[in-house]
């Protein structure tokens, strides 16, 4: 269903936060594309830069953070980074919308949910209060909220977690945006509700035809939803591939670690493997490969030379010197982070 013109093209996106002399390079040279109707997953641990990437797309980075000059974000042929304040506001919610992780805190406790959905309509159109309300009720019904008309008059605390997330989705989709950024949309929900919400997103995508950028730390969610996966680590893309290829042939040691850390249904009882250590601080990325302290393959080259994105297949890249020296896959050592006992992540 995805046609080939990219809807969004991000090139060398760098978002830095300044604190005195320290510079936190939270997003450090990220490039990717999203096509129309496509679902792309961004996977990574906390601190990998995935949420900052999402906020950067909508230019919601506040001082002391800033998107560095030279970064490019092109959306529907427009350069988002050169738009003035009014123009970017017209994009937000209308062409690109965002679904937040925690629906309780992302909904205003003192407004009814109908008001909150209608508000998005009123911000972007000249519709009357009543017409906007009707649109809101319609959208709430479309997200599968039963008795939407009555529910619309209720406050967030009167709804269940799953219902609240449906409201968030209604808010994001009411203007039929071309791109929806879903930042951990199911993390705060029960497993059964998670499945429902993912299915709902999928259905709505078929009905409305939007692209989805799905940000998550959960490879299971990605497997279910996405067509392509971008794995982020240390503010960079470390691997990118189609879902099928990534699960069949993950190349980057970090991606492999994430896979091993995923519980397998039906697999014999084994302790889940973890990746030793934690993501380093964005103010002090290690030289060379940013993952090397936690990597069981790391050798001296990894400390000296920052790995480029090595092309593997037509649409598969990995930021690891192993692609250059595949024989090294045979020599595993204990990662530095495990030896120094930095704990596990």
Partner 1 sequence: MVMSRRQREIVRGAVPMLVVLAVLAGIAIFAPLIAPYNPSAQPDIVGLKNLPPSLAHPFGTDPYSRDVLSRVMYGAQVSLSVALLATIVTVFLGTVYGSIAGYAGGIVDTCMMRLVDAMMAVPRVLLVIIVVALWHTLPLWLLIVVIGVTGWFSLSRVVRGQVLAFRRRDFVVAAEALGARRTRILFRHILPNVVPMIIVDATLGIGQVIVLEAGLSYLGLGVQPPGASWGNIIQDGADQIGTLWWVSLFPGLLIATTAVACNVLGDALRDYFDPREVA
Residues that bind partner 1 (CB under 8 A): 58, 60, 63, 89-94, 97-98, 100, 102, 105-111, 119-120, 123-124, 168, 171-172
HSE-up of residue 120 (Cα within 13 Å, Cβ side): 30
Cβ proximity to partner 1, 113 vs 246, nearer residue? 113
Cβ proximity to partner 1, 197 vs 338, nearer residue? 197
Distance CA 32, CA 34 (A): 7
HSE-up of residue 49 (Cα within 13 Å, Cβ side): 33
Distance CA 123, CA 102 (A): 23
The least distance separating partner 1 from the CB of residue 210, rounded to whole angstroms, comes to: 15
| Closest C-alpha to 195, from 144, 157, 245 | 144
The neighbouring-strand residues paired with 96 are: 92, 179
Cβ proximity to partner 1, 107 vs 219, nearer residue? 107
Cβ proximity to partner 1, 124 vs 301, nearer residue? 124
Quick one: three-class SS letters along 16-73?
EEEECCEEEEEEEEEEEEEECCCEEEEECCCCCCHHHHHHHHCCCCCCCEEECCCCEE
Is the CB of residue 59 less than 8 Å from the CB of residue 233?
no
Is-cis flag, bond preceding 64, omega within 30? yes
Cβ proximity to partner 1, 123 vs 303, nearer residue? 123
Cβ proximity to partner 1, 73 vs 238, nearer residue? 73
Is the CB of residue 208 less than 8 Å from the CB of residue 201?
no
Cβ proximity to partner 1, 103 vs 257, nearer residue? 103
Is the CB of residue 97 less than 8 Å from the CB of residue 180?
yes
Residues with Cβ within 8 Å of 177's Cβ and at least 6 positions away in sequence, in order, are 93, 94, 95, 96, 97, 210
């Amino acid at each position: 269903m995805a046609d080939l013109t990219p809807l969004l093209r991000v090139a060398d996106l760098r978002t830095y936060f300044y604190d005195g002399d320290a510079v936190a390079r939270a997003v450090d040279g990220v490039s990717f594309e999203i096509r129309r109707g496509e679902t792309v997953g961004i996977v990574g641990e906390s601190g990998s830069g995935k949420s900052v990437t999402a906020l950067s797309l909508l230019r919601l980075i506040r001082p002391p953070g800033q998107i560095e000059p030279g970064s490019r974000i092109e959306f529907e042929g427009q350069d988002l980074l050169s738009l003035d304040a009014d123009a970017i506001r017209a994009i937000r919610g209308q062409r690109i919308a965002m679904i937040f992780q925690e629906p309780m805190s992302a909904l205003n406790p003192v407004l009814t949910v109908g008001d909150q959905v209608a508000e998005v309509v009123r911000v972007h159109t000249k519709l009357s209060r009543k017409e906007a309300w009707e649109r809101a009720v319609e959208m709430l019904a479309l997200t599968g909220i039963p008795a939407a008309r009555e529910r619309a008059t209720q406050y967030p605390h009167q709804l269940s977690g799953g219902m609240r997330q449906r409201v968030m989705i209604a808010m994001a989709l009411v203007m039929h945006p071309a791109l929806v950024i879903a930042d951990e949309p199911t993390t705060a929900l029960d497993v059964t509700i998670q499945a429902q919400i993912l299915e709902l997103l999928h259905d709505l995508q078929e009905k409305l035809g939007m692209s989805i950028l799905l940000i998550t730390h959960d490879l299971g969610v990605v497997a279910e939803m996405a067509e392509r996966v971008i794995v982020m680590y240390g503010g960079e893309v470390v691997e990118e591939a189609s879902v099928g290829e990534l699960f069949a042939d993950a190349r980057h040691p970090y991606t492999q670690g994430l896979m091993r850390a995923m519980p397998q249904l039906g697999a014999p009882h084994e302790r889940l493997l973890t990746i030793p250590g934690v993501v380093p601080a964005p103010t002090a990325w290690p030289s060379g490969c940013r993952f090397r302290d936690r990597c069981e393959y790391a050798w001296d080259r990894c400390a000296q030379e920052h790995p480029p994105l090595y092309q593997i297949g037509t649409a598969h890249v990995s930021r690891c010197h192993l692609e250059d020296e595949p024989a090294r896959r045979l020599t595993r050592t204990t990662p530095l982070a495990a030896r120094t006992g930095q704990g596990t992540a």
